[in-house]
Amino acid sequence: MQIIVPKELRHPLFFPNSIVDTKGERVFFLPELLYFTMDSADTPWLCSEIQIPLIVKKWTEIKDELISVLKARNKEIKLYMLKGIELYFSLLFWSNNVPVRLSEWQKHVEFLVCKSVNVEERLSFILKKCNSYPAYIQLSELFIEQQKHFAKKIAIEKYKQK
């Protein structure tokens, strides 16, 4: 099925064309793609306590593959990094219980509460240099920090419920 990429998700790294084929090999941000185009009832960002551990698990798997690809200086590094960046965007936005928005993402990230220091600058660097080892290191660090921020957020929410 072909879907026109909604304005909320337009970004040249993830959607170089304005139409995406959902039967294709790799579709980035599928829950948001369906949500923004078809008013899908599937909203995993509202179940962040369940979804965040799944994102972290996927990151762990991709991270291992990324290390191998980086060591081999394989040309597939960009695809693996894009998978990792997709997971980080999901982690970041879903930690705040909102869908990922790639179009003008810096403006949306600015208003998120649960986030790392200087995340906008750091993510900009990763997106510009996504084929590089320093970008991988920065992405790994952001994952660790975001997990801590999310754990803190959950702990505070549970404390307030008492």
Residue 31 domain-assigned?
Answer: no
Residue 18 domain-assigned?
Answer: no
The span from the CA of 153 to the CA of 79, in Å, is 31
> 74-101 in b/e burial notation, b at 16+ Cβ within 10 A?
eeebeebbbbbbbbbbbbbbbbbebbbb
146, 116 in Cβ contact below 8 A? yes
Residue 116 domain-assigned?
Answer: yes
Q: Return the higher-pLDDT residue of 139 and 20.
A: 139
Scanning the structure block, which residue is given the tokens 């997990």?
147
Total domains in the chain come to 1
Predicted model pTM: 0.93
pLDDT at 66 over 70: yes
Residue 6 domain-assigned?
Answer: no
- Please tell me the predicted confidence (pLDDT) of residue 25: 67
- Please tell me the predicted confidence (pLDDT) of residue 39: 77
Residue 124 domain-assigned?
Answer: yes
Model confidence over 28-38: pLDDT tens digits?
999 999 899 98
Residue 123 domain-assigned?
Answer: yes
* Domain with 85 in it: 43-161
Residue 90 domain-assigned?
Answer: yes
Residue 28 domain-assigned?
Answer: no
